[in-house]
Amino acid sequence: MKDTILIYHLADDIRAKIEDIAKDLDIVIREIPDDQIHQKMGYLLQLEGYDAQEKNLLLAPMEQTFVFFALNHDEQLDMLLQLFRMKGIPHIPYKAILTKYNADYTFVQLYQSVANEYQQFMNMKD
């Protein structure tokens, strides 16, 4: 698998900064279009063995920006996040990294899982 970053609902200026970083590091950037949010992450990453799913009509609104990292080496994530800060990319609370489990999640499922975790984290801070 080629290192890939999937992005969802990013502002153009933030997207451009991430694309610049990715180009320098030979990382593929793919945007998740709204008509693909029901697909499994493995399909969105173009992993072998994942086929397109039928569209699910019961989808919750998803308005937050989201970044999903599919990287071959764990240390790359720390480097990428440091580069994001150096380039002035604001904190993106909804983000995840590919695991052996979440490749089978649909993007909607992953988004909702991250949203729930983020909400729990924010509640603990209060």
Residue 113 belongs to what domain range?
4-125
Torsion over CA: 55, 99, 111, 83 (sign): negative
Q: Which of 114, 85, 119 is nearest to 6 (CA)?
A: 114
pLDDT digits (tens, 9 = 90+) for 2-23: 999 999 999 999 999 999 999 9
Domain count, the chain: 1
Q: How confident is the model at residue 70 (pLDDT cuts 50, 70, 90)?
A: very high
Question: What pLDDT score was predicted for residue 20?
Answer: 96
Torsion over CA: 73, 75, 78, 80 (sign): negative
In the predicted model, is pLDDT for residue 60 greater than 70?
no
pLDDT digits (tens, 9 = 90+) for 19-55: 999 999 999 999 999 889 999 999 999 999 999 988 7
This prediction has a pTM of: 0.89
Cα separation values, 64 from 46, 93, 111, Å: 23, 9, 9
pLDDT digits (tens, 9 = 90+) for 83-95: 999 999 999 999 9
Instruction: Look up residue 90 and give its DSSP letter.
Output: P
75-86 and 12-24 are packed helices; what angle lies between their axes, rounded to 10 degrees? 130
Which amino acid does the sequence have at 77? L
